Structure 1
Amino acid sequence: MFRTAEGHRSQRNSNRRDGRGRSGFRGAACAAAAAGMFLAAGCSSSGESGPGEAAGGVPVVEKGKLTTCTHLPYPPFQFEQNGKVVGFDVALIDLVAQNLKVEQKILDTPFENFKTGAFLNSGQCDLAAAGMTITDERKKNVDFSIPYFDATQALLATKKSGFTSLADVKAKGGKLGAQAETTGESYAKSQGFNPVAFESSDAVLNGLRTGQVDAVVIDYPVVQGWLKDKANSSEFVLGQNIDTGEKYGFSVKKGNAALLAAIDKAITTAKADGTYKKIYEQWIGPLPQAAS
C-alpha cells in the first residue's frame, strides 16, 4: 500500500501568468503574500520546523517532509480525490519519500515556474513533479531525473466539428486550444497554429465544452482519462495521436545531486521489482511493453 500525500492547495489567480518566484525562504514568501503576490502555501509566524535532512543525509526544505511542487489538476498524474492529491506522479514520489523516511507534502504552484525552477531556487520545494517533459530549455534551469514516462500528445475535438487531425483544423479554420507553457502548446505553434492558451487542464476541457475552441492538443493520458467519463465521450472524439518523442522527468534544483540520486534509485527499483507496473496500471492503464 502506498501512503497518499496530503494536498495543500492555494488560491490561484488564473489571469496571472508571470509566475515570478520568491527569492527568500518562508519569511520573504509571507511578506510577498501580504503585498498581494502569489504564494504556494499558507504561512505561520511560529511553529514551523524549517530545513532538515532525510535518510542518507539528503537535505530537505522542511524537516520530516519531502516537499513537492506540482500544478493541479493534471489527471492522471496529479489531482484531488476525496480531499487528497493522488495520481501517478504522486505515487512515484511517495516511493522516494518512503526511502528517505519522510512524508511527501504537495504544494500547488503555477506551471510556468517549472521552466525556470523558481520554487526550487527559492527554497519552497525540494522537487517538481507535474507531468513535465524533459527539454533542453528546461535543463538550463533545473536538473532532471531519469525519464519515468514516455509521453505522446493527442488531438481531442468536439464531435460536431468533424476534426480528426491538425490538418483538418487548419484546413477548415477551426479554433485550436492547448494548456499554456506546455509542450502541447509549443507543438501546436510549431505546426503554424496560434492556439488559445488555457491556464490548466480543467480550463482546456471547459474551453471545449463551452465552444471557445473546436479542438485541443494535450497529453494523451490526460485525454484517456477524460474519455472515461461518458459525458465527455458522448461530446468529444479522439483524433490523431501525435508522437513527439517526449519523456517526463522529475526536477530538482541544479546541483542537488543527493536528492536526484534518490529519485533515480526509486524509479529504477520500482521498474525492476514490478511496483512501477502496478502504479501505472492503477492510474493510467495497461503498461506498454516498451515502458516496462
Structure 2
Amino acid sequence: MSARTALPLVTAVTALAILTTGCTSTKTAGSGASGGSEVTLVAEGKLKTCTHLPYEPFQFRKGSEVVGFDVDIVDLVAKDLKVTQEIVDTPFEGIQTGEDLNAGKCDLAAAGMTITPVREQNLDFSGPYFDATQALIAKKGSPYTSLASLKGKKLGVQQGTTGETYAKKNGAGTETVQFEDVALLLAAVKTGQVDAAVNDNGVLFEYVRKNPDLAVTAEFDTGEKYGIGVRTGNTALRKEIDKVVKAARADGRYDALYKKWFPAAPKK
C-alpha cells in the first residue's frame, strides 16, 4: 500500500529454522558463471506473494482473481522460475516487519511498499521498480489544494503509512483521521466524512479516473520508491527479481504493464 508505513518497527526474530521445513528449490535461468543461482521457495511449484488488499491498481480483487501492477510484475518472476504465483492476503504490519517472510508464510512481499531505512532493517529489498510520491485528494472544485488550506478541517490518512507521517509532519492545524485501509479512506473523501486525504499518487489518480467527482489537487515530492521485499539474506531470490525487472524494462514488457494499469508510459 502506498508508501506504506514509515513508523518505527521492531525487527522480527522468528526462528529461521521454520524456513527450512518443507521448502523446495528451483534453478533460475540466470546467465552467471555458475549457470544460475538456486532459489529456495516455501512451497513446491509456487511463488508465494504476501500483500495487503486492496491497493488498486497495484493489487486488488477483480471477481475471483487478484490483479494489478504488482501482481503482473511478480508474474514475470514466477514465469522465469517456471512456477505459479500464489497471493497471500495478510495484514501489512506482518509484511513490513519481515515477520511473515521469516515465518515462511511467503517468498516475497509485493505491496506497493516504499523502501525506507527502517524497513531495510527487517527485510531485504529488490531494486526500485516504481517511483511514487504523496498526493492530496478532495472533491472536485473544492478549495483544498494544499495542506495549509486544510487548517481546521479533517484530513484522512491511512494508518501506518508514509502518507500519514507526511500529513502529521506538514499539516499543522489539521485534524487527521485514521483509516485502516485505502478503500475506507477514499470512501470517506467521497462521502464527505473527511474534507481531503493523503495517499500515494498512483492509487489516487486511478481512483479519480473512476470517480470524476473527485480530483487530485496537489502532489508532494517525497521521492519515494517501491521495492519488492524478501527475507533478510535471501540473496538468490532478490537477484532473480532484479534480473527479471531489468530485462522487462529493456524489452518493453515493463512499459506495457505500466500502460495497462496507469494512464501514461513510465518516464525514461
Q: Which residue of the partner structure matches residue 40 of structure 1?
A: none
Deviations 1:103-127 (A, max 9, x none): 0000111112222111001110110
Q: Deviations over 1:77-114 (max 9, x none)?
A: 00111210111000000010011111000011111222
Aligned position for 2:61: 80
Q: How much does 1:74 deviate?
A: 0.4
**Contact 2:54–2:60 (Cα < 8 Å) also in 1:** yes
Conserved 8 A contact 1:24-1:123: no
**Partner-residue secondary structure (3-state), 2:92:** coil
Instruction: Tell me how large the CA RMSD over aligned residues is.
Output: 2.2
Counterparts of 1:194 and 1:185, CA distance in 2: 12
Is the Cα contact below 8 Å between 1:21 and 1:122 reproduced in 2? no
1:51 maps to which of 20, 23, 44: 23
Residue 128 of structure 2 aligns to a residue in which SS?
coil
- Per-residue CA deviations over 1:179-235 (Å, capped at 9, x if unaligned) read 111111111122145621211110111221333211000111111111122xx212x
Note if 1:272 corresponds to 2:250.
yes
Verify the 8 A CA contact 2:56 2:203 in the aligned structure 1.
Answer: yes
For 1:199, the aligned partner's letter is E
- Any conservation in 1 of the 2:114–2:227 contact (CA below 8 Å)? yes
Q: Is 1:175 matched up with 2:154?
A: yes
Letter in 1 for 2:242: D
Candidates 261, 265, 268, aligned match of 1:287: 265
| 1:237/1:66 CA distance change after superposition, 3 Å | same
Cα distance in 2 between the residues matched to 1:92 and 1:131: 12
Equivalent of 1:138, from 99, 116, 119? 119
- Does 2:233 match 1:252? no
User: What is the letter of the counterpart of residue 122 of structure 2?
Assistant: N
Matched, 1:224 2:205: yes
Instruction: Establish whether residue 190 from structure 1 lines up as the match of residue 169 from structure 2.
Output: yes
Give the number of the structure with larger relative contact order, counting CA–CA contacts within 8 Å between residues 6 or more apart.
2
Provide the identity percentage: 51
Amino acid at match of 1:51: C
- Give distance in 1, aligned partners of 2:13 and 2:138: 39
Counterpart amino acid of 2:156? G
Instruction: State TM-score, norm by structure 2.
Output: 0.86
Letter in 2 for 1:280: Y
Letter aligned with residue 224 of structure 2: E
2:87 to 90, 99, 106: 106
Question: Is it true that 1:210 corresponds to 2:182 in the alignment?
Answer: no
3-state SS, counterpart of residue 195 of structure 1: strand
Provide the C-alpha distance between the structure 2 equivalents of 1:22 and 1:103, rounded to a whole number of angstroms.
Answer: 29
Whether 2:239 is the aligned partner of 1:261: answer: yes
Gaps of 5+ in 1: 1-17, 29-48
Letter in 2 for 1:126: D
Q: Which residue number corresponds to residue 238 of structure 1?
A: 216
Structure 1 position 24, deviation (Å): 7.5
Count residues with an aligned counterpart: 245
State the distance in 1 between where 2:108 and 2:100 align.
Answer: 9
Distance 1:112 1:210 in 2: 28
Equivalences for 1:1-80 in 2 at 5 Å? Answer: 23=14, 50-56=22-28, 57-80=38-61
Q: Alignment partner for residue 91 of structure 1, among 72, 84, 102?
A: 72
Give me the whole-angstrom Cα distance separating, in 1, the residues matched to 2:195 and 2:141.
9
Offset of 1:250 from its aligned partner? 0.3
Q: Which position in structure 2 is the counterpart of 1:124?
A: 105
Where 2:212 maps in the other structure, the secondary structure is helix
Secondary structure class of the residue paired with 1:181: coil
TM-score, normalising length from structure 1?
0.79
Give the match's secondary structure for 2:66.
Answer: strand
**In 2, Cα distance between the equivalents of 1:164 and 1:109?**
34
Give 2:162's aligned amino acid: T
AA of the residue aligned to 1:182: T
- Native 8 Å contact 1:179 1:200 kept in 2: yes
- Paired AA for residue 212 in structure 2: S
Q: 2:129 maps to which residue?
A: 148
